[in-house]
Amino acid sequence: MESKKLLAVTGNPVLHSKSPLLFNKMFSTEQINATYFRIAADSATEAMFLFREAGLTGMNVTAPFKKDIMAEVDLVDPAATKIGGINTITNRSNGIIGYNTDYTGVARSIEEKVGTLEGKKCIVLGAGGAGRAAAYGLIAKSSIVVIANRTIAKAQEVAGQLGCEAAKLDCLEELLSHADILISTLSTGVEVVEEAWLRPSLVVLDANYKSSALGKMALNRGCTLVKGEDWLLYQAIPAYTHFLQSQPNENCMREALDEASKPLSSKKDVISLTGFMGTGKSSVAKILAKKMGYHVLDSDSLIEEKAGITIPEIFRTNGEKTFRKLEKEILNSLLDADHKKIIIAWGGGIVLDQENRLKIKEKTLSIWLFARPWKNLSLIKDGSRPLLNVENPGETARKIFLQRRGFYAETADLMVNSDCEYHNPDSIAEKIYEEICKTF
The catalytic site residues sit at: 66
CB 88 within 8 A of CB 36: no
Q: Report the C-alpha gap between 335 and 344 in whole angstroms.
A: 10
Q: What is the dihedral of CA 396, 399, 402, 408, to 10 degrees?
A: -40
CB 83 within 8 A of CB 133: yes
CB 331 within 8 A of CB 299: yes
Q: Report the C-alpha gap between 49 and 39 in whole angstroms.
A: 11
Burial of 336: CB neighbours in 10 Å, binned 0-12, 13-18, 19+: exposed
CB 162 within 8 A of CB 185: no
DSSP 94: T
Cis ω for the linkage preceding 425 (within 30 of 0): no
Q: Report the C-alpha gap between 176 and 121 in whole angstroms.
A: 9
* Closest listed residue to residue 101, CA positions, set 71, 59, 68: 59
Q: Report the C-alpha gap between 94 and 348 in whole angstroms.
A: 34
* Closest listed residue to residue 185, CA positions, set 153, 212, 208: 208
| Three-class secondary structure assignment of 138-179 | HHHCCCEEEEEECCHHHHHHHHHHHCCEEEEHHHHHHHHCCC
Q: Report the C-alpha gap between 328 and 1 in whole angstroms.
A: 26
147 to 214, 269, 328: CA distances (angstroms): 17, 43, 57
